[in-house]
Amino acid sequence: MTEQNKKSILVVDDERDIAIIIKMALQRSGWAVKEFTDPILALQHFEQHSTEYDSILSDIRMPGMNGFDLVRKVKAIKPDVKIFLMTSLEISRSELKRVLPSVKIDGLIEKPAPMRMLVSLIEKGTATKKRSYHSFEVDDDDAACLDFA
């Protein structure tokens, strides 16, 4: 895969170790990754470089700005960017959509989960050209766990 063809993702998690582990796992699968531990800096970076990113993966609870606010602001800048939120809650995307209609996400990744599952879910959620969006929707409620060990 050439650098130009690589899919790119912005990873935002206030825990540096977790951000780095995710970055390494995605890079191994051929993604171009930039990680931030500060969501405000991540947003500022995205404002300047939005065309460079296909996707964003963010934690929910972070100091300064939570993942929900980050999602809203990022979507306002680039509506077609794919958004994935990491959470320890057992909640489906459809349930989240009902209670938080302004937070438009493409996937919820339940923590903790193995890295291969995280990468697989992100690849599945971004593969809209090969798979229909609906087929991802069907799989969306499957619980996934992130294992940072």
Partner 1 sequence: MTSLVNPSCCEHIIMLYNNDDERNEVAINYINEGLKKGQLAVYASVDASDTSYISERLSKITKYKENMNKGNLLVFSLKAFYYRALDGDLESFKDFKALLEEIVKERIAAGKSHEVIVVADCADNLSRRKKFDECIHVERWWQNTHFEWLRNNQKITVVCPHPNLILTQNSYKRQISNQHSLILTALTK
What residue ranges bind partner 1 (CB under 8 A)?
60-61, 66, 68, 87-91, 95, 98-103
Q: In angstroms, what is the minimal distance from the CB of 64 to partner 1?
A: 13
Helices then strands, counting H and E runs in the chain, come out as 6, 5
Nearer to partner 1, 60 or 119 (CB): 60
Q: In angstroms, what is the minimal distance from the CB of 87 to partner 1?
A: 5
Q: In angstroms, what is the minimal distance from the CB of 75 to partner 1?
A: 14
- In the chain, the N- to C-terminal Cα span, in Å, equals 29
Short-list 42, 126, 115, CA closest to 82: 126
Nearer to partner 1, 70 or 121 (CB): 70
Nearer to partner 1, 28 or 61 (CB): 61
Which residue is associated with the tokens 């995307």?
Answer: 93
Distance, in Å, from the CA atom of 146 to the CA atom of 18, rounded to the nearest integer, reads 10
Q: In angstroms, what is the minimal distance from the CB of 39 to partner 1?
A: 13
Task: Read off the amino acid at residue 94.
Answer: S
